[in-house]
Structures are given as structure tokens and as C-alpha cells.
């Protein structure tokens, strides 16, 4: 059955490719900021399911649809994609201070033929060494920061040298947890 990734994230595309899947991409069109919940697990599930609902409207064939959403939790506070340079700088100052960044990634996998949907959440933590202020300003100025929850991207060469510790699956931090995604694909495919 055809596989469709409902995401424009290069990181998620890379993870699914590394998992050995051939897939098409259909980018969901939703207002993520309109979906709210104070619980990061519930929030990411709500957004991932909204993305799935949107992609389902665009797909007219039998397929397995994969969508995902991620947020970063810092000191108990949810941080999503920064809305401006000031917010990105504040997020990255916390990253640079060695504050644990807990990534919460939700995945949904839908089977368009059966109408069944499976979902789950994975968490991982990354801690960074201090990042020089000039480096932070350069990264914020590049604009890359606005595409990532918490304003950082672990697979970006800018951040890699500063990673101190990762607890959990690297792919959860990237935004598409391998083990969870594989489990959900198998569940949706075995119907």
C-alpha cells in the first residue's frame, strides 16, 4: 500500500527514508497555533491528528498516512516554533544554559482503506553545552530557527558540536520517533 508522509520537515523525510520506506509527501494545511492544550502529550496528539485529518481530505486512494508533531518542554513550559527573532533568541539562551530540552513527539498513522488510525507519543531529552552568543545570533539570523520547535535542530551542523547528552531516541528529537512510527505502521498495515 502507498505510504504518504504528511509533513514538509526534511528531518522527518530523512528518518522515514532511513527506515527503508518509499513515500510521497502531502503537506497538511492547518493552523497549529489554533490548537491548544497545556499537556504537551495531548497537544502534540491533537496537532498530529489535525494534520492527519487535513491530509485525508487530499488523498483519494488507499494509503497509509503518517503525520507527526513535536514540542519542546523547558522547565515545565511548552515551547513550539518561535514566532519571531526575539523569541528564538530566548529559546536558544535556555538551550545554551544547559537546561534540559524535553522533546515530545506524537505520531499518527492512518489507513485510508479501513479508516483505522493509530497514534502514540515518544519523549527524549537533549542537553547542550554552552553556545556562544555570536553563534546564537548567527543561527537566529539565518531564519532556520523558525522551522523547529524550541528554535533548534539537532541534526543541523550548527548544533551538533554543542550536544552534551541525549536521553532517548535521536529520531524523537528530530520529530519522527523510529520505534513508535514502525510499530504504528505495522498496526495500520496489518488490518
Report the run of H or E that residue 11 belongs to, with start and end: helix 10-18
Q: What is the pLDDT along the chain (191 residues), one digit of tens a residue?
A: 999 999 999 999 999 999 999 999 999 999 999 999 999 999 999 999 999 999 999 999 999 999 999 999 999 999 999 999 999 999 999 999 999 999 999 999 999 999 999 999 999 999 999 999 999 999 999 988 898 999 999 988 888 899 999 999 999 999 999 999 999 999 999 86
Length of the chain: 191
92: left (phi over 0), alpha (psi -120 to 50) or beta: alpha
Domain chopping of the chain, boundaries:
2-189
| Residues 26-40 pLDDT 10s | 999 999 999 999 999
Q: Which of 24, 53, 69, 119 is catalytic?
A: 69
Query: Nearest-CA neighbor of 79 among 11, 87, 130?
Result: 87
- Residue 127 forms beta bridges with which residues? 165
Q: From CA 68, how far away is CA 183, in angstroms rounded?
A: 14
Give whole-number Cα distances, 138 to 51, 85, 129, 133, 147, in Å.
Answer: 32, 11, 17, 9, 16
pLDDT at 191 (0 to 100): 63
* CATH 3.90.950.10 describes domain 2-189: yes
Q: What is the pLDDT of residues 7-27, one digit of tens each?
A: 999 999 999 999 999 999 999
Residue 156's pLDDT is 87
Q: Say what the pLDDT of residue 160 is.
A: 87
Q: What is the pLDDT of residue 39?
A: 98
Is 69 catalytic? The answer is: yes
Amino acid at each position: 500500500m502507498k505510504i504518504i508522509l504528511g509533513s514538509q520537515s526534511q528531518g522527518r523525510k530523512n528518518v522515514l527514508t532511513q527506515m527503508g520506506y518509499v513515500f510521497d509527501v502531502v503537506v497538511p494545511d492547518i493552523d497549529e497555533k489554533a490548537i491548544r492544550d497545556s499537556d504537551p502529550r495531548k497537544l502534540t496528539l491533537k496537532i498530529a491528528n489535525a494534520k492527519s485529518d487535513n491530509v485525508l481530505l487530499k488523498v483519494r486512494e488507499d494509503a497509509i498516512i503518517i503525520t507527526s508533531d513535536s514540542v519542546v518542554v523547558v522547565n515545565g513550559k511548552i515551547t513550539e516554533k518561535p514566532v519571531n527573532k526575539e523569541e528564538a533568541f530566548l529559546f536558544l539562551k535556555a538551550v545554551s544554559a544547559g537546561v534540559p530540552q524535553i522533546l515530545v513527539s506524537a505520531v499518527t498513522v492512518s489507513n485510508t482503506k479501513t479508516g483505522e488510525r493509530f497514534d502514540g507519543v515518544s519523549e527524549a531529552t537533549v542537553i547542550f553545552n554552552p553556545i556562544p552568543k555570536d553563534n546564537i545570533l548567527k543561527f537566529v539570523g539565518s531564519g532556520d530557527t523558525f522551522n523547529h520547535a524550541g528554535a533548534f535542530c539537532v541534526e543541523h551542523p550548527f548544533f551538533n558540536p554543542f550536544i552534551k547528552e541525549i536521553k532517548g531516541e535521536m529520531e524523537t528529537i528530530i520529530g519522527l520517533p523510529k520505534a513508535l512510527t514502525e510499530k504504528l505502521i505495522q498496526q495500520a498495515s496489518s488490518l
